[in-house]
Amino acid sequence: MIASNTGFRLFQDIRNILFTFTVALSVGWIFLQIGMPAPYLMGALFGVWISGAVLPPLRQYLGVARWFHVPIVVGLGVLIGATFRQETISQVSAWWLTMTAMIVVTGIVTLLGYLFLHKRRGYEPRLALLCCIPGGQVEAITMAREMVDKDYVVALFHLVRVVIIFISTPFLLAVIEGHEAVERSNTILQVMPSIFDLNMHQISLFIGLATVGYLVARLCRIPMPHILGPIGLSSLAHLTGWAELPRVNEFVILAQLVIGGAIGSRLAKVPFRDVFGYLKDATVNVMIILSGYVTVAIIIAHISHVSFLSIWLAFVPGGLYEVTLLALVFGFDVAFVAFHHTLRTILVFMSLPILINRLKGSKSS
């Protein structure tokens, strides 16, 4: 009986994943054709969300099972760590000003967002923190499932932040660098190395770093082992020159479909009237985050004579891969941008479990 139920649940999970990916990939391809930024992530988010919200019978077929979601996050950790190279070590000392500024402003905007949501809007402490954190949306949403009742609110807040950043940042770059550059940013993904270009050594190395990093992190009881473990081991391997892995076209697309589709499927099951009730708060929170980062970026650009766009790309709390791709296309220092995003990501990953455990929760028993 148990085996039968397990088999049926597995069948449902696979069916839902395939259906969700069909919707996400179709809308993502359309978004790619019309020149949307981060088309597959945006397509997955909006395609799955709107299709489920408009057609309620489809909701039972939407979703990404955790057993499929976690390995993708583990793989992302390896690719994040792969952005570090040996030359990064020699450059870090020159980035102390921007690193310090980024860490400080991250703390400030998080505190301001938390105070706004908790003190002014009456959110319970854990929900307020998970909503206002500028980054780490995968981990925030994962923790929200276990610690708060309204995990869809956390997903909505991060969705609003990601959407506003994905729309505004390419637009800002287009105004300064030209529309052709934005169009080229969507072609970069297509010319990334394919999984079929990897040799067996690279594939084995990728799987090994992901697996060992995750297992070691669990053994050491490191928070968020499925992401921090692979990031740490992959970073070490690439910094020492022992490994060199490229970003793989199919995996980057798959990651966008998984993350976007998972969020979209959860939002699709929430009544629109409930979702839109939180949109105002989410938008205000994004304005707090962006105003803090843009103010500091302007100041740093003025006193350091580094271009504003380069600092903005390094500071803006959007997706690591999408922002890094934009930096590559527009000719900015990719290592500079990727390092700052990874630093903020690690800062969020390390501090979030500690902070969240000190706050009172409201998860129903």
Summarize pLDDT for 128-160 with one digit per residue, the tens.
999 998 877 766 776 777 777 777 788 888 878
Write the pLDDT tens digit of every residue in 188-244: 666 677 777 888 989 999 999 999 999 999 999 876 788 778 888 998 999 888 988
Torsion of CA 175, 166, 100, 98, to 10 degrees: -30
Give the rounded distance of the alpha carbon of 33 from its chain centre: 23
Q: How high is the pLDDT of residue 319?
A: 65
What pLDDT sits at residue 180? Answer: 64
Yes or no: say if 234 and 77 are a contact pair by the CB < 8 Å rule.
yes
Residue 133 neighbours by CB under 8 Å, 6+ apart: 110, 113, 140, 348, 352
Helix (H, G, I), strand (E, B) or coil at 350: helix
pLDDT at 234: 92
| CB-side neighbour CA atoms (13 Å) of 349 | 20
Which pLDDT score is estimated for 50?
92
Helix-then-strand count for the chain, H and E: 17, 0
149's enclosing H/E stretch is none
Q: Tell me the C-alpha distance between 250 and 48, whole Å.
A: 20
Residues of the chain under the 50 pLDDT cut = 364-365
What is the per-residue pLDDT for 365?
Answer: 38
Q: Exposed e or buried b for every residue in 134-160, given b needs 16+ CB within 10 A?
A: bbbbbbbbbbbeebbebbbbbbbbbbb
What is the token pair recorded at 69?
Answer: 């979601």
Residue 274's pLDDT is what?
Answer: 67
Q: Report the 10 Å Cβ neighbour count for 274.
A: 12
